[in-house]
Amino acid sequence: MNDLPLLSLLVFLPWAGALALAALPGLSDRAARGFALACSLTTLVLGLVVLAGFNPAVVGYQFAEQHAWIRALHVNYRLGLDGLSLLLVLLTGIVSPLALAAAARGARDVRLLGLLFLVLQGSALGVFLALDFFHWFIFWELSLVPAFFLIKLWGGPGAGRAAYQFVVYTIAGSAFMLLGFAALYAVTGTLDFSALAKLGAAGQLAVLLGPKAVLAVFLGVFAGLAVKVPLFPFHTWLPPAYAEAPTGVSMFLTGVMSKMGVYGFLRVLWPIFPAQLHACAGPLLWLALGGVVLGAFAAMRQTDLKRMVAYSSVNHLSYCLLALFAVAAGTTPGGPAAVSALSGTVLQLFNHGLSAAALFYGVGVLERRSGGRRGLNDFGGVRTAAPVFAGLCGIAMFSSLGLPGLNGFVGEFLIFRGVFGLAPGTAAIATLGLLATALFLLTFWQRVFHGPRAGAAAGSFPDLDRGELLTFLPLVALMFLFGVLPHLLTGLINPLVTAWVTPLTLP
């Protein structure tokens, strides 16, 4: 297709930028910010280039690269991209520069921040593009390091603890995932996702490992992914981490990093362990449901706006898993319901990335204006003080609660349609989550933006400046764009999703 190793460039350009930043200790904050932003934008540019050359009708991996790497372990350096990866790469391309811009604004030591951020971005891209466990896991784990320091060094007063909790939880999951793959490797001698998926689909893994062990291995890999998403009840690290992280970092965490987990479910867990996932799907469905409902209700009870948005993330991501588990639990493969549910999942990934990032940004703006206050009751009448900001925030909220016409609606609608077809009872309960989401977002809207100007908004409360507008507006514009024209996205993934459900195996 192309002689340029586009995917490698995608992954390594941010890292190259980080290296360059590391090598230039004397850089001024301004120059560092500009340089970091430029490096961060390469993802979007290259993502669009890839998009231009992408053939949605092809189901397999495109732009694939493969090189022998570690002969002794039969590890190949293998990158590839399909519709799912492409969407997530684009999402990363969109969210990263904005998040970086938000984070770098007024921060100290911008060079280090930009450096860590670029490392983080590169790792995330690597996760979305790697097709062999070995380097996939490198990217997966490496993403923790910059995230840890971003939270710790630029975060709020409880950041140390939150960052520690975040990393330890995630590594705990990863350790078991690593063990799981170690076991897989011990019996199969390969770490290639495609090869493992073939074995998994043919039921070979269960034969090689034995029925009990295969379940243990499945649970290990599951644990690693579930912590990352996070799936209820593995989510307890998330609210403090998101709440303590600086705004830009929260945007990236929720916009991109939380997608890594769901991506892992779709790319790794389901294809390799279809039978095991099917067997466990019943209980898992309940867990996902728990995330949907309890996440929403927990959000409702928060008075800290950032924590509220954080819980809403738990809720929204649980929809994705709900759909996936519902499909996996289904006895009959295929069917329009499954297609719908899975398309919804992928769309939801993308949309939640946009809307949650926007919401965090909104809270960040409030925080900056009020000198760090972000309580639900610290504000009032922001709408009159800053109408543009209020409007943009409102759109983000409505996108988040799934108002038709905005992007959030399409994903959730498809998910619910699919899940109703597959597991009606679950879907019915899950609507409770929808309800609660609506409730807490409206409360947020009402308390903060309406009424007389009060609290932190009582004094001077300037509207968005040019820089903030430049960050906020693209997100909102995209919400409208994909709300009105969802097929721009679905077109990329439809063949893929159809292919997933027909033989119920993944490529």
- Closest CB to another protein among residues 268, 423: 268
Is residue 499 close enough to count as binding another protein by CB under 8 A?
A: no
Which of 63, 117, 128, 176 touches another protein (CB under 8 A)? 176
Half-sphere exposure in the Cβ direction for 190 (13 Å, CA): 18
Which helix (H) or strand (E) covers residue 460, if one does? none
Is residue 189 close enough to count as binding another protein by CB under 8 A?
A: yes
Is residue 149 close enough to count as binding another protein by CB under 8 A?
A: yes
CA distance 395 to 493: 26
- Closest CB to another protein among residues 148, 350: 148
- Closest CB to another protein among residues 139, 444: 139
CA distance 110 to 121: 16
Which of 78, 111, 135, 374 touches another protein (CB under 8 A)? 135
- Closest CB to another protein among residues 66, 384: 66
Q: Please choose, from the candidates 186, 181, 169, the residue with its C-alpha nearest in 3D space to the C-alpha of residue 226.
A: 169
- Closest CB to another protein among residues 157, 452: 157
Task: Write the secondary structure of 394-459 as one string of H (helix), E (strand) and C (coil).
Answer: HHHHHHHHCCCCCHHHHHHHHHHHHHHHHCHHHHHHHHHHHHHHHHHHHHHHHHHHCCCCEECCCC
* Minimal distance, residue 239 CB to another protein, in Å: 20
Binding piece for another protein, criterion CB under 8 A, among 2-10, 144-152, 236-244, 288-296: 144-152
Measuring CA to CA, how many Å separate 68 from each of 9, 64, 80, 127? 18, 13, 15, 19
Site for another protein in 61-100 (CB under 8 A): 69-73
Interface with another protein: number of residues (CB under 8 A)? 41
- Specify the DSSP class assigned to residue 256: I
Which of 141, 443, 463, 507 touches another protein (CB under 8 A)? 141
Which of 33, 78, 152, 417 touches another protein (CB under 8 A)? 152
CA distance 240 to 245: 8
Strand, helix or coil for residue 261 = helix
Strand, helix or coil for residue 341 = helix
CA distance 506 to 489: 20
Is residue 185 close enough to count as binding another protein by CB under 8 A?
A: yes
- Closest CB to another protein among residues 154, 389: 154
Binding piece for another protein, criterion CB under 8 A, among 51-59, 176-184, 317-325, 473-481: 176-184
- Closest CB to another protein among residues 7, 227: 227
Q: Which residues contact 484 (CB under 8 A, 6 or more apart)?
A: 405
Residues that bind another protein (CB under 8 A): 69-73, 108, 134-135, 137-142, 144-145, 148-149, 152-153, 159-160, 164, 167-168, 171-172, 175-176, 178-179, 181-183, 185-187, 189, 213, 216, 220
